Structure 1
């Protein structure tokens, strides 16, 4: 079992453009969902927040710029990277898009190769393990490519589920993950697993991380879930 694929939402009203984007993002190894208008995009984000959004400016109904504004004022989605696509090439339009909260801005027609590079750059910032970046937290290190975990220089042998849990925690130290979010990310949306299973695997992760001493790095947040640090 490997690190879960980053989730990318494509919001584009032109079917041909939407299919091209989805095809290329899937080929890069991402899990892709799509929306054809702003209302559908906001609904999908509320139901299952993606790791990154590729967002067209000109959409029927709620515009892309308005979708961006709404997502960036919400605590839950403020940190989600948004790459905005637009036929508007004037500097004032680019500035408006960025000031509304877009993390990047590309003018149509754009290079798909360049867009994929910009997607990787944004994901490297928020999902470093997904692009092979070595993670560190205090005396714990995790290498997603070699599947190796060490604490204070000693190798830590983790099962695949515990490895995925630790990866999620180390990508975003301090973030509180609910049991439902952990189930979704680690076990998958299509697999039914009781929330108590999360507690069992968290217990296993803690035991292994503390087998050679050291404080328990995974804390329980009463009524909310679990967090690293």
Structure 2
């Protein structure tokens, strides 16, 4: 499955141009034309990265970035801004706000693709992918931390950036119970405030992927205080909280 990149722009020519660049490589794309649309699609479609169109006379791009980074469900998404000529101040403001990367247009398409590949730890065309990397295992599940890939029984497990961080933290120490606070700090950082329900929703989505691929490991709820991951036994793990 090709990695999905969400293109946030109100300029049809921008979308067609950069959408073609992405799809000529290993990516697929989807359009978001406003703040609400961008946040909605980022949650529902779980893209791997966001490409942000920042025009000199518009604050839309900056507003989308602020919404994405401020929402705990999408705060881990890499966001790359393409700044229009003459918007140097906007460029500086985005850098101060913590944009993952930004470029002033025009930009060499190869440079943009290299940036996306680096953010998502994807191999360059013609290579055999990332052969080595730190591996975490549980049952038949294998996570390549450096390549940011998870698979089990020959099936890829598709996780959003936050879900990847949650599962990675659990897999670092199989069998250990991590509190919701510890998991929140690992995935969102200590400065982001979210409710316990948000963590439960992400854990539920991970569980569904583990079940779908018969991964041979389960995420268990420990006395409603937290979660642990361990190899599955004969009893199936319920998709509870």
TM-score of Structure 1 vs Structure 2, range by shorter chain: 0.5 to 0.7
Q: Label 1:59 to 1:77 Cα distance change in 2 as closer, same or farther (>3 A).
A: farther
**Hey, what does 1:199 align to over in structure 2?**
211
3-state SS, counterpart of residue 122 of structure 1: helix
The alpha carbon displacement at 1:226 in A equals 7.8
Unaligned ranges ≥5, structure 1: 150-157, 187-197, 207-217
| CA distance in structure 2 between the partners assigned to 1:60 and 1:226 by the alignment | 47
Q: Size of the alignment, in residue pairs?
A: 184
Q: 1:5 to 1:92 in 2, by over 3 A?
A: same
Q: How does 1:87-106 map to 2 (within 5 A)?
A: 87-89=84-86, 91-106=88-103
Deviation of residue 79 (structure 1)?
A: 1.6
Asked whether the equivalents of residues 136 and 143 of structure 2 are also in contact (C-alpha less than 8 Å), the reply is: no
Counterpart-to-counterpart distance in 1, 2:203 and 2:81? 30
Q: Is residue 107 of structure 1 aligned with residue 114 of structure 2?
A: no
Describe the SS at the equivalent of 1:75: coil
Q: Is residue 11–residue 37 contact of structure 1 (8 Å, CA) maintained in 2? A: yes
Once the 2 structures are TM-superposed, how far is the Cα of residue 82 of structure 1 from its aligned partner? 0.5
Could you tell me whether the CA contact under 8 Å between 2:81 and 2:102 is conserved in 1?
Answer: yes
> Hey, what's the Cα distance between the residues in 1 that align with 2:115 and 2:36?
25
CA RMSD of aligned residues (A): 4.1
Q: Is this contact kept in 1: 2:9–2:15, CA < 8 A? A: yes
Structure 2, unaligned runs of 5 or more = 170-186, 188-198, 231-241
- Tell me the residue number matched to 2:32: 35
1:220 aligns with 2:217: no
- The Cα shift of 1:19 comes to 0.9
